[in-house]
Each structure stands twice: as structure tokens, then as C-alpha cells.
Amino acid sequence: MFKIINMDIHALYKLYQENPVISTDTRTIPEGSIFFALRGEKFNANTFAAQALATGASYVVVDEANYVVDDRCILVDDVLSTLQQLANFHRQQLTIPVIGVTGTNGKTTTKELLYAVLSQKFKTYATKGNLNNHIGVPLTLLAIQDDVEVAIIEMGANHLGEIGFLCSIAEPTCGLITNVGKAHLEGFGSFEGVKKTKGELYDFLKRTDGLLFLQGDNEHLTEMEKQRGINHVVRYGFSSANDIIGKLETANPLLTISWRTHKEGEAALSIVKTNLTGSYNTENILAAVAVGLHFGLTKEEVNVGLESYTPTNNRSQITKTANNVVIADYYNANASSMAAALDNIAVIEASKKAIILGDMFEMGEESFVEHQKVIAKAQSIGVDRLIFVGKAFYEQREVADEFYQTTEEAIEAILRNPVSGCTILLKASRGMAFEKLMEVL
């Protein structure tokens, strides 16, 4: 792979054990940390090495010799690979279950739900925020301290091979793919590319005899499992063949779910009132039930965990504004999460509804068709007001309704003709900056 020029991995690991805080952000360097001077597109953190030492870092890891100022500088071939190698070395010292979570949509929500449930019984560590890539996964692993009993690692990908690589670093003992859908098609090439990449988690679990939690009613995921024949599988879903069987009872707009185990049957039904909206979250919740029960939690512990989770991150968050109830889901958007969000607003009980959708980014060649499908689906719901925002939607403005090229134009239009008394779905890719719309709703 690469070699550490003036220190081997064991020696570096010893330094990490003595200074178990890693920093990569030049703006906040904790006292006594090891600063890894990563290189981004715009800047080269090697140039901050001396400053990092001056402001509190115990050591810096650099990959350019001319930034070595004293023997607190560790010179390596490649800082990023060293960070990944150190993270994997640390991972190998841990003898705890490591749960890998990937998928097109719902990774963070599922991770948070898993955390809420497992923390009822165990000292649990989960990925902070959305630190799910080739840098975030190593940082997550290196933040796991000795007293942690279970770790949950979110793994994201936008190109082929990425999940396999993250698995090789995190070495999950079990895991799940939330779902596979059309997102980041520019990086994956096609939906097949998405399945192949996410499936690298299944490849890893197969190879290491790990345990898979499987949404047993998702035809893509079940097919992907079948192709590999994974030995240990716990199934969750809606049909009676699953090990954990759940049902969405009500969504008005918060979800009430019922669930039971296949073994126990109908008589042992649990009812859980959650603080989540979005019917698509039902399967995320059932994943957390499956994981919780597998790790020996009681039903009560599982349910208390589920009830304790309130999203705060603009993922399926409900906000009462001056004039409306807003389902704020503008953290991201792709073809499958748009469809799921539309299914959800369709079933929500409300006297008046509005839908405001912004462009889905990174859709590549399928962008036109996928935006077209979203328009058709949104129109089929029959809401009181339907607004589309962004260049991709605007290209198809001849199909009636309201279309605006930019979020600013949509704001002006809403100021002229306010939306009020509605339950509103607000969904777009992050780059559309839909949080600005909140002020006029």
C-alpha cells in the first residue's frame, strides 16, 4: 500500500494511544491531538503543520518533507492512507461488534435509530453527523474508546468500489443496506453500479461470515443477498415471512408503528409512537428493532429507544411555522427519496397540503426523465399547491403548475401569493438552499 517513512504503524499506534484525539481541521485543533495534514482540492494542510503544533497538537502527520519542523512531525508517503491504515489498525484491536450501515437513503436516520435503541443497553458509539466517507469512517473508528461496547459506522459512497474500501477499513461484523436507489448516478454510472457498490457490504459479510440484517421485502436487496448466499441473515419487513414483522399504523404526521417477531406471533404485538414522520421511515425503524433484539435488548428497551429519538437534522423533520406545518426534508434528494417523500405526503392526514420540490442534483443522463417522473407523481397526488424550483424542473415548465428557476424566485412568488394553513412537503437537494424558504412559510 504505502509506507510510513520515519515511523512504523505500531509506533504510530502507540503515539495515538497516548494522544487518542485526531484532528484534521485546522480551525479547531484540540490540545494534545495528533493533527493529520490532509490535502483537499483547495488547500494543503501540510502548510499548517507548524501552526498546528503551535496551537496545541502533540504531533503532526505530514507528507511533504519541507514542512517537517521538528521531531513532532511524522513524515509519511501519504497522510490520508496513513489515517486509514491507523484507523484499521485500531479497529483490529477492538473486539466489539461493529455494525456497518450503508444504502442510498436513510443511512443517517437508521444509524441514529440504531444508536437510540442500542444505547438502552450498551455503551454505544455511532458516526457523528454524516462523517461517512473515506475520511469520516477512519475518524469515526479512531474516536472509539476502550469502554465502547458496540459501534455503528455509517458508510456512504458516490463511486464504484467505495463501500468495499470502507469495509476493509471498518471490518464490520454485521450490517445492513437500507435500500438501493437512483442517486449519484454520475459517479456510479447506472443503477447497476449503485447495487454493485452497496453490495460490497454483502460481499464483505459473506467473506467474513458476518451477519446481515435484511429488508426482506425489498426485491433488490433480497436478490443481492441471494446472489451471494450469506450464511447469517435476520430479516425485517412487512410480510409474514420476515423475522421481524412491522406495520405502519398511522402517519398523522408522526408515525405509529406496530411490530412483532415471527416466532412469537400476533399475540405479542408492540405498538410504538415515534417522533418521526415519513412512511419510508417504517423500514428504518424495523431495522432498529431487528438489531436491538439481535443484541439481546428486551422489547421494552427497544421501544423506549425508538420513542426517544427525535430527528433534528432536516431529515424528515416537522416544523410548525407561522402559517403552516412543514415537513422539512431538504437535506438531500434523489429519485428514490423523492418518491418516498411523495408517498408519505400522499398518506398524511391534513385538510390542505402543498408540495414544494427543488432539483435533484448529480442525476447525470437520467436527470430529465427522473425529474419528469417526479413531476408526474407529484401531480397525481392532487394537492392544493404544487411548486417546482430549479433549472432541471424549469426545463419542463410547460406541464402547468408553478415553476421557478431559483429558490429566490420561489420566495418572491410565495410572498406575492402566500401558502397558508397547509401541511407542506419541502424537499430538494442540499444545494438548492431550501432552508431559505422556511422564512416565507
Q: Which residues define the annotated binding site for ATP?
A: 103-109
| Contact call for residue 158 and Mg ion (CB under 5 A) | no
Least distance CB 247 / ligand ATP (angstroms): 15
Tell me how far CA of residue 306 lies from CA of 90, 189, 224, 276, in angstroms.
31, 36, 28, 10
In angstroms, the CA 52 to CA 170 distance is 28
| Contact call for residue 370 and ligand ATP (CB under 6 A) | no
Tell me how far CA of residue 298 lies from CA of 124, 212, 290, in angstroms.
17, 20, 11
Which range, of 72-80, 107-115, 144-152, 345-353, touches ligand ATP by CB under 6 A?
107-115
Nearest to ligand ATP of 73, 166 (CB atom): 166
| Contact call for residue 130 and Mg ion (CB under 5 A) | yes
Which residues, numbered 311-330, are part of the site for ligand ATP (CB under 6 A)? 315-316, 329
Which range, of 37-45, 49-57, 130-138, 306-314, touches Mg ion by CB under 5 A?
130-138
Cell of 140: 469515526
Chosen residue from 340, 357, 414, 422 binding ligand ATP by CB under 6 A: 340
276: buried, middle or exposed (CB in 10 Å: 19+, 13-18, 0-12)? Answer: buried
Nearest to ligand ATP of 221, 422 (CB atom): 221
| Contact call for residue 97 and ligand ATP (CB under 6 A) | no
Strands 270-277 and 254-261: antiparallel
Least distance CB 264 / ligand ATP (angstroms): 25
Cis check: omega of the bond before 253, within 30 degrees of 0: yes
Residue with cell 410547460: 398
Question: What single letter denotes the amino acid at residue 2?
Answer: F
Least distance CB 154 / Mg ion (angstroms): 6
Instruction: Return binding residues.
Output: 103-109
Question: What single letter denotes the amino acid at residue 124?
Answer: T
433 contact partners, CB below 8 Å, separation of at least 6: 407
| Contact call for residue 133 and Mg ion (CB under 5 A) | no
Q: How many residues bind Mg ion (CB under 5 A)?
A: 3
Chosen residue from 90, 91, 107, 220 binding Mg ion by CB under 5 A: 107
Closest alpha carbon to 274 in 304, 297, 319, 315: 304
Closest alpha carbon to 97 in 129, 121, 61, 80: 121
Q: Interface with ligand ATP by CB under 6 A: which residues?
A: 103, 105-109, 130, 132, 156, 178-179, 278, 280-281, 283-284, 315-316, 329, 331-332, 336-337, 340-341
